[in-house]
Amino acid sequence: ALKRRVKELEKGHKVYPKVPILNYKDRKRILITGGAGFVGSHLVDKLMKQGHEVTVVDNFFTGRKKNVEHWIGHENFELIHADIVNPLFIEVDQIYHLASPASPPNYMYNPVKTLKTNTIGTINMLGLAKRCRARILLASTSEVYGDPEVHPQKESYWGHVNPIGPRSCYDEGKRAAESLCYAYKKQENIEIRVARIFNTFGPRMHMNDGRVVSNFILQALQDSPITIYGKGDQTRSFQYVSDLVDGLVALMNSDYDLPVNIGNPDEYTIKEFASEILKRVGGKSEIINKEAVTDDPSRRKPDISLAKLHLHWQPRVKVMDGVNKTIEYFREELRHSNMLP
Ligand code: NAD
Ligand code: UDP
Ligand code: UDP
């Protein structure tokens, strides 16, 4: 980003990353809802670099203009500040539907809005897909499995979700969104794709996002205590963002229209993960235990056989290589804001 800025100043005009010119029949008009967020902005980069026309719709609840600013002004790119709970009329060929708060503190902040975004917002995007005869991919989540009784989780597992707990606005919101997709497929013949995304991390996660990877890295970089919620025996399996984005594009362009897990099966206890991060960052943080959170799933790991079979996809980035890149990203962010100790 810095190198590009220097080049821009030298040339006196904005310098964009290289974009191929696709011929008319290969070039798609692609909408990304939530495209100014963490995952969405990496997806924007990939699709722009393939030469498509990309439109982002975002209400900037957790997303930032900064995540896509390097494309603003490019003739293939458009950024619309709008809320998908309101109808949206544009012309598109494909929709990647990612708009939804994703981290527990964010989705619990306004649970009613989380539900509206995932239900009314998803209906609007399905209505748009129906009118344009566009294909739509829903960014669903491993949270549809709740606190799972089977391990690892296969797509055929129906889940174990508390319908009235603090996480339900998100879990049940996404379950309703999946249900809406299959209802529109059955009734209106809409082409749908459903990705059940497992914990993903990487650069451009929001500093105050509150998810475990960004929390631990920022705490370690600032010499503050690393906060484990509960005993830290709960497990998660972490995927680097570039693998997720490759998986989403592979799914969108495949013929498979049932839900597919996209995640990295490399599983860690939160305790182990905390010490791995501390070891990599160095620094003087101590690791402390805080109160456990309500309904926190005790273990989570994807079975990715379906993705391998139907998408010929599997994660390529080793989790700790991804962690190192993410540490470097946050170190730069903190240095930039004068927040390093
Ligand atoms: P994020 O919070 O960075 O991005 C979400 C984006 O959606 C933000 O830009 C936000 O401003 C936007 N948004 C929220 N509500 C909106 C609304 N009503 N109208 C328009 N825009 C709205 O989170 P992320 O990690 O990039 O997640 C993207 C998607 O992937 C989400 O749907 C999330 O549920 C799903 N997902 C992510 C993970 C993960 O680990 N990152 C795991 C499972 C599922
Ligand atoms: N919708 C939209 N953009 C469109 C088409 C529809 O936002 O291009 C919204 C529309 O406002 C409606 C919803 O999507 O509330 C569902 O559309 P559908 O056609 O299924 O329902 P209907 O309009 O028949 O109620
Ligand atoms: N967690 C933690 N400390 C933190 C943030 C999260 O111990 O500062 C735990 C959390 O309780 C959960 C796991 O890390 O068991 C993953 O949490 P995250 O919010 O990243 O995602 P989730 O999988 O719960 O949606």
pTM over 0.95, yes/no? yes
Counting from 1 in the atom list of ligand 3, the atom nearest the Cα of 104 is 19
332: amino acid identity, one letter: E
* Collapsed DSSP state (helix, strand, coil) of residue 83: coil
CB neighbour class for 35 (10 Å; exposed up to 12, middle 13-18, buried from 19): buried
d(CA 15, CA 12): 9
Residue-by-residue pLDDT tens, the chain, 341 positions: 778 888 888 988 999 999 999 999 999 999 999 999 999 999 999 999 999 999 999 999 999 999 999 999 999 999 999 999 999 999 999 999 999 999 999 999 999 999 999 999 999 999 999 999 999 999 999 999 999 999 999 999 999 999 999 999 999 999 999 999 999 999 999 999 999 999 999 999 999 999 999 999 999 999 999 999 999 999 999 999 999 999 999 999 999 999 999 999 999 999 999 999 999 999 899 999 999 999 999 999 999 999 999 999 999 999 999 999 999 999 999 999 998 99
Residue 4 has what pLDDT? Answer: 83
Centre of ligand 1 from the C-alpha of residue 98, in Å: 5
211 CB near ligand 3 (under 6 Å): yes
- Indicate which ligand has the atom closest to the C-alpha of 237: 3
In angstroms, the CA 74 to CA 78 distance is 8
- Residue 157 CA to residue 149 CA, distance in Å, equals 9
Q: Ligand 1: which of 95, 197, 239 to mutate, judged by most atoms within 8 Å of the beta carbon?
A: 197
d(CA 29, CA 118) in angstroms, rounded, equals 23
Element housing 30 (H / E)? strand 29-33
Tell me if residue 170 is catalytic.
yes
Give the whole-angstrom CA distance, residue 241 versus residue 325. 11
Q: How many CA atoms lie within 13 A of 78 on its CB side?
A: 13
Q: Is 195 helix (H, G, I), strand (E, B) or coil?
A: strand
Kindly give the distance from the C-alpha atom of residue 120 to the centroid of ligand 2, in angstroms, as a whole number.
10
In the DSSP assignment, the letter for residue 311 is: I
- 114: nearest Cα among 173, 56, 27: 173
In angstroms, the CA 92 to CA 126 distance is 12
Q: Is the ipTM of this complex over 0.85?
A: yes
Query: Radius of gyration (Cα) for the chain, nearest Å?
Result: 20
Q: Which atom of ligand 2 is nearest to the CA of 132?
A: 8
Per-residue confidence (pLDDT) for residue 3, from 0 to 100: 82
Centre of ligand 2 to C-alpha 141, Å, is: 24
**What is the predicted pLDDT for the residue at 287?**
97
Predicted local distance difference test score (pLDDT) of residue 236: 98
- Distance from C-alpha of 340 to C-alpha of 12, rounded to nearest angstrom: 33
Pick the atom of ligand 1 nearest to 97's CA: 32
Instruction: Compute the distance between CA of residue 230 and CA of residue 236 in angstroms, rounded to an integer.
Output: 14
Q: Which of 170, 182, 184, 229 is catalytic?
A: 170
Instruction: Give the span between the Cα atoms of 235 and 151, in whole angstroms.
Output: 11
